Amino acid sequence: MKSLPMKQLVTADVSPRIRRLAPTQSAPTDVGDHRLLATFCAVVFLAFPLPMRAAVPEDARELVKARVAEDYPTLFALYQHLHANPELSLHEEKTAARIAEELRRTGGEVTEKVGGHGVVGVLRNGAGPTLLLRTDLDALPVTEKTGLPYASRARATDDWGNEVDVMHACGHDAHMTVLVGTARVLSQVKDHWRGTVVLIGQPAEEVGAGAKAMLADGLFTRFPKPDWCFAWHVKPEVPAGTVAFTEGATFANVDSVDIAVYGVGGHGSAPQTTRDPVVLAAQIVLALQTIVSRELTPGEPAVLTVGSIHGGTKHNIIPDEVRLQLTLRSYSAETRDRMITAIRRITRGLGLAAGLPEDRLPLVAMGGAGLPAAYNDPNLTRRLTTVFKDWLGESQVREAKPTMGGEDFGLYGQTADHIPITLFWLGISDPAAVTESEKSGQPLPSAHSSLFAPVPEPTIKTGVTAMTAAVLELLRPQ
Ligand SMILES: [Zn+2]
Ligand SMILES: [Zn+2]
- The number of the ligand nearest the C-alpha atom of 446 reads 1
- The number of the ligand nearest the C-alpha atom of 206 reads 1
Radius of gyration, CA atoms only, the chain: 28
**How far does residue 91's CA lie from ligand 2's centre (Å)?**
16
**How far does residue 248's CA lie from ligand 1's centre (Å)?**
20
pLDDT at 43: 46
**How far does residue 166's CA lie from ligand 1's centre (Å)?**
13
β-sheet bridge partners, residue 251: 374
Residue 390 and residue 292 in contact, taking contact as beta carbons nearer than 8 Å: no
**How far does residue 89's CA lie from ligand 2's centre (Å)?**
11
Q: To 10 degrees, what angle do helices 172-188 and 58-84 make?
A: 140
**How far does residue 59's CA lie from ligand 2's centre (Å)?**
34
**How far does residue 255's CA lie from ligand 1's centre (Å)?**
16
pLDDT at 32: 41
**How far does residue 448's CA lie from ligand 1's centre (Å)?**
6
Active site positions, annotated? 138, 205
pLDDT at 211: 98
Residues of the chain with confidence (pLDDT) below 70:
1-55
- The number of the ligand nearest the C-alpha atom of 425 reads 2
**How far does residue 160's CA lie from ligand 1's centre (Å)?**
20
pLDDT at 19: 33
pLDDT at 55: 64
Spell out the SS3 assignment of the chain.
CCCCCHHHHHHHHHHHHHHHHHHHCCCCCCHHHHHHHHHHHHHHHHHCCCCCCCCCCHHHHHHHHHHHHHHHHHHHHHHHHHHHCCCECCCCHHHHHHHHHHHHHCCCEEEEEECCCEEEEEEEECCCCEEEEEEECCEECCCCCCCCCCCCCCEEECCCCCEEECECCCCHHHHHHHHHHHHHHHHHCHHHCCEEEEEEEECCCCCCCHHHHHHHCCCCCCCCCCCEEEEEEEEEEEECCCEEECCEEEECEEEEEEEEEECECEECCCHHHCECHHHHHHHHHHHHHHHHHHHCCCCCCEEEEEEEEEECCCCCEECCEEEEEEEEEECCHHHHHHHHHHHHHHHHHHHHHCCCCHHHCCEEEEEEEEECCEEECHHHHHHHHHHHHHHHCHHHEEECCCCCCCCHHHHHHCCCCCCCEEEEEEEEECHHHHHHHHHHCCCCCCCCCCCCCCCHHHHHHHHHHHHHHHHHHHCCCC
pLDDT at 5: 36
pTM: 0.82
- The number of the ligand nearest the C-alpha atom of 173 reads 2
- The number of the ligand nearest the C-alpha atom of 449 reads 1
